[in-house]
Structure 1
Amino acid sequence: MEERLLHWLARDGTIVLFFAQMLGIFGLPIPDEFLMTVAGTLARNGHLHLWSTLLAAVSGCIAGITLSYWLGRTVGFAAVHRFIHLSDSAFVRAQRWFLRFGCWLLMFGYFIPGVRHVTAIAAGSTPLGFRTFATYAYPGAVLWSFGFVFLGYFAGERWRSVFDLLRRRLPLIAVVVIAVVAAAALFITSRKNTSA
């Protein structure tokens, strides 16, 4: 599948990246990070325009995460679980992490494979409003997309080795970032409560 997607990306450019991102975030088994990294390398080599590549990656990601949210809102988390081919453990993990980290998981959950596909569905199946969802999920889409496109852009021909190293460390990095952000949010909240 990777070879076919790479061929389409090289031939058809950013439209392929948009749909691959949208469908990958929505839950289809598409190598999102891999394609964004390769697209960044293609942009560096002049085969794609950098800003249209970034726009396609971000807008595809936002489209997919929004579809996932509305799927969770209309059908519900448990019903979706029966139809999407993700393991029970991935769904349970997403639910547990969403309850623990809340909205911050929408922003940084993109960086955790298997979790990013279900956090928006989990959010949609809760009372979380769309505006709050978008406030956290959309900046996360920008961070994630820019991160991998620029990884490919700056790594150039070394993109594969840099990508493989980062991919192995990504879940740990995401957990650390979520923990730091959650600790900072708790600290700020507790300071506001004590000064009030």
Structure 2
Amino acid sequence: MHHLSYLVSHYGYFGIIVALIGGIIGLPIPDEVLLTYVGYNVFQGKMAFLPSVASALFGACCGITLSFLLGIKLGVPFLNKYGPKLHISEAKVARTRKLFDKFGPFLLLIGFFIPGVRHITAYLAGINSYSYKKFSLFAYTGAIIWCTIFITLGRALGENWIDFRFYFSKYSIYLVLIFVLGCVIFYNFWRKRKMQKVF
């Protein structure tokens, strides 16, 4: 936490960008805690809300785009060789690949809310030769929702933002399951509507 507060307090919006690029690529940075802490800084008046969200969005989009490009250029061998150094284990890759096969590009959207998954989805999109248009539609939409929610949460919690770390670590799996369930329901509804239009 000390490193995150140093980044934000000394480098401001630029610090947010750098931290999120690293976090999305796979460095061990607690992204949700960082975003909530940024929201707390907004609550304190040390940062402005819109520039904070814009900086977070820029960092998240740069990070996930870089992962996507690495997936295109370097493919599976890159993940196998450098994945463990980025805390991306073979088990995580296998689990995410199964989800990716099932939900496809939709996982790019909801993957931001699943720790350990958001780091891999863009690599897999690149490896699977997704078009940039298809990738960006889902990935950037997910980034917008993710950044806005957690920064807003930090601002809303104010002085109690620190409690977020405890509750998130304890209940994050339930929150993620609820969110993913909601997204799956929406995805199935959207797919059925799309199929009805085709026929």
The question of whether the paired residues in 2 share the 8 Å contact of 1:98 and 1:119 is answered with yes
Counterparts of 2:44 and 2:99, CA distance in 1: 39
* Pairwise CA distance, 1:185: 2.1
Query: What TM-score results when the alignment is normalised by the length of structure 2?
Result: 0.91
- How many residues were matched structurally? 193
Give the alignment's Cα RMSD to 1 decimal.
1.5
* Pairwise CA distance, 1:5: 2.0
- Hey, what does 1:173 align to over in structure 2? 178
Secondary structure at the counterpart of residue 71 of structure 1: helix
Counterparts of 1:4 and 1:166, CA distance in 2: 19
The percent of aligned pairs where both chains have the same amino acid is: 32
Higher mean Cα deviation, 169-178 or 71-80? 169-178
Letter paired with 1:188:
R
Moved over 3 A (4+): none
- Hey, what does 1:137 align to over in structure 2? 139
The question of whether the paired residues in 2 share the 8 Å contact of 1:37 and 1:163 is answered with no
The question of whether the paired residues in 1 share the 8 Å contact of 2:7 and 2:16 is answered with no
* Pairwise CA distance, 1:70: 0.2
Letter paired with 1:145:
C
Counterparts of 2:78 and 2:21, CA distance in 1: 21
- Hey, what does 1:5 align to over in structure 2? 4
Letter paired with 1:104:
F
Deviations 1:11-61 (A, max 9, x none): 221111110011100111111110110010101111112111111100000
Query: What TM-score results when the alignment is normalised by the length of structure 1?
Result: 0.92
Gaps of 5+ in 1: none
Q: Does 1:101 align with 2:106?
A: no
Q: How does 1:180-191 map to 2 (within 5 A)?
A: 180-191=185-196
- Hey, what does 2:81 align to over in structure 1? 82
Counterparts of 1:185 and 1:41, CA distance in 2: 36
* Pairwise CA distance, 1:10: 1.7
- Hey, what does 1:25 align to over in structure 2? 24
Q: Does 1:70 align with 2:72?
A: no
- Hey, what does 1:160 align to over in structure 2? 162
Gaps of 5+ in 2: none
Letter paired with 2:30:
P
Counterparts of 1:162 and 1:33, CA distance in 2: 9
